Amino acid sequence: MSNSRFPISLHILTLLNEAKGGVVSSEYLAGSININPVLVRKEIMNLRKNGFVGSKEGKGGGSFLAKNAKDINLGEVYKSVRSSNVLGQSKNEPNPKCPIGRQINQHLDSLYSDAENALIANLSKQTLADFASKFE
């Protein structure tokens, strides 16, 4: 993952938190983040699927926090946007004739998985409320 889904999601959540339960349009969110509104809506779709936010269609619509900020932990947010491993996917197909190449991916995967768990554990120490409090 070298895209910016995690920072975008966190940015959205922080803005929604700021809105204190109020409804915010994707246009507005995109303006603050300075990215395309469609990307924001896609990210919101994911956040909604994971229960972090809700959204309302139609005029005056937009999205809002669906949980108390204290109940959204950053590790969960990370997991919701995580697509491949942080350390780079083992998408490579090493030479199966090489005794190392043949089995390296499985060892890399287990190494990555451990390391990523440490990262998630660290993120999980903070909630959205903790993060947002830094902006006061």
| Residues of the shown chain interacting with a copy of itself in the complex, contacts defined by CB under 8 A | 1-8, 10-11, 14-15, 18, 31-35, 74, 78, 84, 86-95, 98-101, 103-104, 107-108, 111, 114-119, 121-123, 126, 131, 134-135
CA distance 79 to 96: 32
Q: Please, what is the minimum distance in Å from the beta carbon of residue 97 to DNA?
A: 17
CA distance 43 to 52: 11
Secondary structure element (H or E) that encloses residue 91, with its range: none
**Choosing among a copy of itself, DNA, none, which partner's interface includes residue 133 (Cβ < 5 to 8 Å by kind)?**
none
DSSP codes of every residue in 73-91: BHHHHHHHH--S-TT----
User: Is position 36 an interface residue for DNA (rule: CB under 7 A)?
Assistant: yes
Pair of tokens at residue 97: 């004739």
Which 9-28 residues touch DNA, going by CB under 7 A?
25-27
